[in-house]
Every structure is written in C-alpha cells, then in structure tokens.
Amino acid sequence: MQTMDILSMPNTDQKVPSRLILILAFPGVQIIDVAGPTQVFTTANEEGATPPYELRVVAFADGPVETASGVGLVATAIPAVETVDTVFVPGGPGVHEVRRDPGFIAALQALLRRAERICAVCTGAFLLAETGVLDKRKAVTHWRSCERFAREFPSIRVDPAPLFMNDGPIWTTAGVTAGIDLSLELVQRDHDPALAARIARRLVVYMKRPGGQKQYSEPLALQIADASPYRELTQRIVSNPVADWTVERMAEIAGQSLRTFHRRFQAATGATPAEAVEKVRCELARSLLHTTDLGFGQIAAQTGFHSEVGLRRAMIRQFGIGPNEMRKRFA
C-alpha cells in the first residue's frame, strides 16, 4: 500500500489563533474528498489567511488508513480540545462498512458534539445521518445515492439538485469535487471573496460555483448518452460547437426521421436538440471567458452565436448570469 502524508504543516510560527479543521479518515474513504478540502485550506494559508487554518487528517484507529484507491493516509489521533472549528466527514465506498460499526458511530457522535461547523462531502452524509445530526434537516449527497439516502433516512429532507447546501451549522455536498466548492465557500465566509478567488485561480477551478448550481455540468449530461445511438452525434457537437447544427442535420447523422429523432434524443439526453447545442456552446463560452481576454463579440463568434446579444441571452438561460458577470466571478 502506498502511503501519502497529506497533513498540512502546523502553524507553529503563527502569532494569531488558528481555525482547527479536522478531516476524518477511515478505511475505504475517497481520497479526493480528503485531499480537495485539504488543498483549499492549505492554499488559503499560503495566500495569507488570518487567522490561518490548522488542518489535521484524523482517524479513530491508530495506523495508516487505506483509501478506496489504495493510497494510504497518515492520520493522527483526535486532539484533546474542547472545541473544533470544523469537522469534515468525507465519503467513499468505505462509508457503508463503517456506518455498521456502533463504535465508529459513537465516536463520530462524540466528535461532532465538539464541532462548531460540520461538513459532509459526497456520501459522507450517510455517516452524519447515522449519528442523528441530520434528522429533520435539509441535506444533499451524490446524485447517484440520493434515492437510497432518502429511502433509508425518511426524516431527512433530501434535495438531490444542489452542489452543496447548509441547514444551520451543518453542510452537505454532492459528489466528489463539490467538496472543493464548499471549501471555497467556507473560506469566503471566514475571510473574504478576494481570498477565495485567489485560491480558485491557483487551483484552476471555477470560481465560484454557487451551492444552488446543478450537481453535474450540462455537457456531462450529454455524455451520459454515450452508450446510446447518439454517441457519435454528441461527440461531434462537443468537438465542433460552432458548426451549423440544424435539427435536420442532426437527424440525418442519427439516421432518423425528424419526429423520431427529436423525441428519442430528448429522452436520452434530457434536452431538445437545440437546447443541447446551446448548452455545449455556453460551456465553451464560459471557458473562453475564464481563460482569455477576448471580447464578448469575439467569444460569440467563436462559439457559434451570431451576436453578443445572442451570447448573453443564451448564458442567462443556462447559468442565470450574463458573460460580464461570469467573467467577474473568475477575475
């Protein structure tokens, strides 16, 4: 088993009190659920967060912890302090094993009672649910597990849509990288938007995906249809979004009549053919807004829109904001 110590350096040279963040490790944890938040808060310290964050990857048992990917984490014991600023409970395949361990759940309950802020990443919400802290609260988890989550814990108001959400001091997130989005949100609340923006730029992530944004991107939603008869078509749209994608042309590529194509394409992708093309073009426009200094007219021309007005209207439909605000969010 490979071993990686991703523990952040202690802030021994800091003159101000630090914010203690504990990230819980257990066998079968998903490594990105641990590493993602850890990197955000570590980068916050590097960018001058005051007070700084003190990060510890902890476990209830001694010894290295093997993650779901086989990489080992060097975890430390739970510190003997009365109050912890934030506890992160990650997800991963191992969740459903440790949640059946009464000793693990009891130890987690004791830890959460000391936390001012509680965060579950992905399926870590199942562990919070086992402790009872989510009873009668709103919560989200990975979209593939939301139905099971709601069925097993009917007292929890499960919302499958957002990337992350909070109900009082308890935060839950959708799948995997949503833990990074939540961490950026917490940095912004603890400090200011400028610090969160600097971190996002250093980590080359979208700054900043709001908690209410859908769990998965629209091009990803189109890629779900890869096993369908529309695999070749969706790949063509993604690879050449500026082409003249008329419904007639798309139906011809799919080898179907217009009526059949429209009905079956929407059933497979969740979008009409015209909506699918617009979604892909808007994603390309968003990328250009974040990574170039091109003017809005140039971006409109390079993404298949006929004008800045067309670009703006489409982006508002897809993202709720226009290109000017979209660019500011990553500035």
Q: Locate tokens 């008329």: which residue?
A: 246
**Long-range pairs for 131-137: beta carbons < 8 A, 24 or more residues apart:** 131/105, 133/109, 133/170, 134/167, 134/170, 134/172, 137/167, 137/168, 137/170
Whether the per-residue pLDDT at 185 is higher than 70: the answer is yes
> What is the average pLDDT across 208-228?
51
Q: What share of the chain has pLDDT > 90, as a percent?
A: 61
| Residue that is last in its domain, among 176, 203, 230 | 203
196 and 227 part of one domain = no
195 and 235 part of one domain = no
Whether the per-residue pLDDT at 22 is higher than 50: the answer is yes
Q: Which domain holds residue 291?
A: 218-329
In total, how many domains does the chain have? 2
Whether the per-residue pLDDT at 161 is higher than 80: the answer is no
Partners of 174 in the beta sheet?
Answer: none
**Long-range pairs for 235-242: beta carbons < 8 A, 24 or more residues apart:** 237/276, 237/277, 237/280, 238/280, 241/277, 241/280, 241/281, 241/284, 241/303, 241/304, 242/281, 242/302, 242/303, 242/304
| Residue that is last in its domain, among 172, 203, 234 | 203
Q: What is the CATH number of the domain that holds 84?
A: 3.40.50.880
Q: What number of CA atoms fall less than 13 Å from residue 79's CA on the CB side? A: 17
CA gap 86, 187 in Å, rounded: 12
Contact 262, 282 (CB under 8 A): no
| Residue that is last in its domain, among 149, 173, 203 | 203
| CA torsion through residues 144, 171, 198, 47, sign | negative
Higher local confidence (pLDDT), 208 or 256: 256
187 and 270 part of one domain = no
253 and 149 part of one domain = no
pLDDT in tens, 35-70: 999 999 999 999 999 999 999 999 998 789 999 999
Q: Exposed e or buried b for every residue in 136-148, given b needs 16+ CB within 10 A?
A: ebbbbbbeebbee
pLDDT in tens, 276-299: 899 889 988 887 887 778 899 999
| 213 part of a folded domain | no
| Confidence category of residue 9, pLDDT binned at 50, 70, 90 | very low
Tokens in use for 269? Answer: 């992708």
Q: Is the pTM of this model over 0.85?
A: no
Return the closest-CA partner of residue 58 out of 96, 108, 118.
Answer: 108
Contact 169, 114 (CB under 8 A): no
| 98 part of a folded domain | yes
pLDDT at 330: 60
| Confidence category of residue 306, pLDDT binned at 50, 70, 90 | confident
Q: What share of the chain has pLDDT > 70, as a percent?
A: 87
Return the closest-CA partner of residue 120 out of 33, 196, 207, 202.
Answer: 33
Single-letter amino acid code for the residue at 39: Q
| 208 part of a folded domain | no
| Confidence category of residue 224, pLDDT binned at 50, 70, 90 | very low
Q: What is the CA radius of gyration of the chain?
A: 22
| 211 part of a folded domain | no
| 119 part of a folded domain | yes
pLDDT at 216: 47
